[in-house]
Chains A and B, each alone.
Chain A
């Protein structure tokens, strides 16, 4: 397995050196793609990574992916029944979240956009909290665990500069913490992203940017999003490490993300990991991808999805059986149902709550407005 190639560069001011020829190369780059597990669950590498033999950890990742998929299915169903608002599914992309959640330390900070539920669940965010959020209740983002993690971020790429700020604070205070920021492929076209990765390079910040490249930004496929060959190469412009990983291959993802997080934690700088996956679902429940996407393409990509791939590997290794599988699905389904009950039984917030978290202390000017929405007890 190749190590990340160090970016070779020459300082710009040397461009004016009298010894230089009229035309010469001042910088060279390449981007590596990492893949270790094929879609039938065969290891492609001879130098076996530690995780490939770590039964316990692999099962933990597998469980996280399965329960996230069942959660997704249920959430989508709730939306169709009118019991949930618009919901963004992570179908087919569960490996990315599971790996992030598994590798981050509790004290690290996650900046998620709105798909990496598996990461959030592994960090202690409750399924019922995610349901509350999409169900229109702000309490959903008041995570009872993972208290430092940022809430789901809807305006695309706006979480990226925030993650840089958190990483700066960690570095300033000499903490051994890391910020992990997840974004989609569409986000890499935004200025926020460029401004943020550029700064992460300048200050050598303890941060990892994970791009969930699910190939579709609502209706826009990657070749219409950018003319760049990869999204990982955008790291080059920022002077940070960048690489592409098969995002449905949890073993490759685990190895590369572990390395990137350790690198960040040991003050060795930022990394962009472009995780190649495929959005097997619509953009959200408000979307109908059949308007713009060939159904055959979706069918073909089911072959490469991450859960079955890991299951094949686990079975080949003798780590997993159909009995285990059955048990896991029953348990996970139960977990989801409990969360749904909890969500549906959570009372709506009082109307005046919309005033109660605007400022630490409610300004006098808002007292009357607040009073006007209060539900008066009948006498």
Chain B
């Protein structure tokens, strides 16, 4: 078993599922002969042919709309939007149709599609290539929004997303596409959706995060451990629907919670988690919930992006604030 990157794991997952299920098709821009701008679909057109690995014209609305028509007709489309900055053209299709086709036909038609898109900052990309706007989708009833944070979770969650009978927005933190290598067994085993993953256990503070920020969060936890503070790190993974039980159980144990995400603060998914903690876990908390997030600014061009993104230092500062009276 070789060490693989998240991109390798995604490619492996797609290949495995396409081999197992002939109804799985891929579509998107430059995904065929070019293998995708990040190479996530490299070699798949060669194996599965041009009809199942479809190079579409430069039309995001088409990609999303087509996927709905395909899904209702019994295919399992896995569509790629090249960057999340270009996903907004799909909103009409995703919000007005994909998320509600089952509901508006009372189960007569369904929409088992996966919309993949790389997102987030940190790779010195051009304008419109670095935003984290997952909360826009998390707000929409009928969708699942899934964000992996490691090669093995990318593999297992992607398989689960493709097998899920409902639409899944699968957002890939591109900063860590090639950052970490990990052993991933190509065993066709999916990971569960709709649940958080507890990455490290600890009794002093709960750190809740997802996507690329998991790495800063884990690094912060490691530093805190050297000071005798044991953090419990939770990877939310499925931000919609949100598994609050795991978070609440952890906070019941630690009494302190810091939420870390790259997206802007206001109405981010962290706000929902904090609100639910206030509703359901207030009596467990010894200190106010802290949020370490991107700012409520336009995502800066790359000269300033490091100032925008939450850092290990900001996470540790937040934990320190939370624990100051403990």
Where the two chains meet, the residues of A that have a C-beta atom closer than 8 Å to any C-beta of B are: 109, 111, 138-139, 141-143, 147-148, 150-151, 154-155, 158, 160-170, 172, 179, 191-192, 195-196, 198-199, 202, 353-354, 357-360, 363-366
Q: Which chain A residues border B52 with CB–CB below 8 Å?
A: 172
Distance in Å: Cβ of B44 to nearest Cβ of chain A: 16
Inter-chain contact B69/A161, CB cutoff 8 Å: yes
Complexed CA–CA distance, A246 and B241 (Å): 51
Specify which chain B residues have a CB less than 8 angstroms from the CB of A168 in the assembled complex: 54, 66, 69-70
Closest 5 A/B residue pairs (Cβ)? A161-B65, A165-B69, A165-B66, A195-B59, A169-B73
Name A162's contact: one of B66, B142, B165 (CB within 8 Å). B66
Chain A's nearest CB lies how many Å from the CB of B90? 10
Cα distance, A359 to B111, chains bound together (Å) = 10
Interface pair A158/B93, CB less than 8 Å apart: yes
What CA separation (Å) do A199 and B72 show in the bound complex? 19
Question: Of A142, A161, A191, A364, which is in contact with the most chain B CB atoms at under 10 Å from its CB?
Answer: A161
Contacts of A199 in B (CB 8 A): 56-57, 59, 62, 66
Whether, in the assembled complex, B296 has its beta carbon less than 8 Å from a beta carbon of chain A, the answer is no
Do most interface residues of chain A lie in helix, strand or loop, or is the interface mixed?
helix
CA distance A74 to B117 in the complex (A): 48
Q: Chain B residues near A147 (CB, 8 Å)? A: 108
Determine the distance from Cα of A104 to Cα of B165 in the docked complex, in whole angstroms: 29
Could you give 13 example pairs across A and B, Cβ below 8 Å? A141-B108, A142-B105, A151-B109, A155-B92, A160-B65, A162-B68, A165-B67, A165-B72, A165-B77, A166-B72, A354-B103, A357-B105, A359-B142
Taken together as a complex, chains A and B put the C-alpha atoms of A166 and B111 apart, in Å, by: 12
* Minimal beta-carbon separation of A364 from chain B (angstroms): 7
Chain B interfacial positions (CB closer than 8 Å to A): 25, 51-52, 54, 56-57, 59, 61-62, 64-75, 77, 92-93, 96-97, 101-110, 141-142, 144, 165-166, 194, 241-245
Are A155 and B96 CB-contacts (below 8 A) given A139-B106, A358-B102, A365-B241? yes
A150 vs B144: C-alpha distance when bound (angstroms): 22
Please report the C-alpha to C-alpha distance between residue A353 and residue B52 in the assembled complex, in whole angstroms: 37
The interface centre, meaning the residue of B54, B59, B108 with most chain A CB atoms within 10 A of its CB, is B108
Verify B106–A158 contact, CB threshold 8 A. Answer: no
The reply to whether B107 and A172 contact each other, CB–CB distance below 8 Å, is: no
**Within the complex, which residue of B61, B71, B106 is in contact with A138, where a contact is CB–CB below 8 Å?**
B106
Q: Are A142 and B57 in contact (CB under 8 A)?
A: no
By the criterion CB–CB under 8 Å, are A358 and B59 in contact? no
Q: Nearest CB to that of B50 among chain A residues?
A: A203
A195 touches B74 (CB 8 A): no
**A360 touching B65, Cβ below 8 Å:** no
Q: Which of B70, B109, B141, B242 contacts A165 (CB 8 A)?
A: B70
The residues of A that contact B107 with a CB separation of less than 8 Å are 142, 357
Residues of B near A166 (CB, < 8 A) are 69-70, 72-73
Contact B142 A358 (CB under 8 A): yes
Distance (whole angstroms) from the CB of B107 to the closest CB of chain A: 5
Q: Is the CB of A161 within 8 A of B73?
A: no
Q: Which A residues lie within 8 Å of B73 (CB)?
A: 109, 148, 165-166, 169-170
Q: Is A198 touching B51 in the complex (CB atoms < 8 A)?
A: no
Cβ of B145 to closest chain A Cβ, rounded Å: 12
CA distance A164 to B65 in the complex (A): 8
User: Which one of A166, A202, A354 has the highest number of Cβ atoms from chain B below 10 Å of its Cβ?
Assistant: A166
Chain B min CB distance to A351 (Å): 14
A143/B108 in contact, CB under 8 A:
yes
Q: Are B106 and A172 in contact (CB under 8 A)?
A: no
Taking CB atoms, residues of chain B closer than 8 Å to A167 are: 69
Tell me the smallest distance from the CB of A141 to a CB of chain B, in Å.
5
CB-defined contacts of B67 to chain A, threshold 8 Å: 165
Given contacts A155-B92, A165-B66, contact A192 B61 (CB under 8 A): yes
CA distance A268 to B242 in the complex (A): 48
Residues of A within 8 A of B106 (CB): 138-139, 141-142, 353, 357
Q: Pick from B72, B74, B92, B194: contact of A158, CB below 8 A.
A: B92
- Chain A residue at smallest Cβ distance from B56: A199
**Complex: chain B residue closest to A155, CB-CB:** B96
Which residues of chain B are within 8 angstroms of A142 by Cβ–Cβ distance?
105-108
B72 touches A150 (CB 8 A): yes
Point out the residue from B57, B68, B110, B242 that lies within 8 Å of A202, measured CB to CB.
B57
Separation of A279 and B7 alpha carbons in the complex (Å)? 54
Q: Closest CB-CB distance, B35 to chain A, in whole Å?
A: 20
Distance between Cα atoms of A195 and B62 in the complex (Å): 6
B165 touches A360 (CB 8 A): yes
Complex: A359 Cα to B98 Cα, angstroms:
11
Q: Are A150 and B102 in contact (CB under 8 A)?
A: no
A167 to B66, CA, bound (A): 9
| Known pairs A165-B73, A202-B57 / 19 extra A-B pairs, C-beta < 8 Å | A138-B104, A138-B105, A141-B104, A143-B105, A160-B65, A161-B61, A161-B62, A161-B93, A162-B66, A162-B97, A164-B66, A165-B66, A166-B70, A166-B73, A168-B69, A198-B62, A353-B106, A357-B102, A366-B241
CB distance from A181 to the nearest CB of B (A): 10
Contacting pair B65 A359 (CB below 8 A) = no
Q: Output the residue of B51, B64, B74, B109 with the most chain A CB within 10 A.
A: B109
- Distance in Å: Cβ of B29 to nearest Cβ of chain A: 12
CB distance from B104 to the nearest CB of A (A): 6
Q: Which residues of A contact B241 (CB under 8 A)?
A: 363-366
Bound-complex Cα distance A143 to B52 (A): 30
Which residues of the other chain, B, contact A164 by a CB distance below 8 angstroms? 62, 65-66, 69
Most buried by B among A111, A165, A168, A354: A165
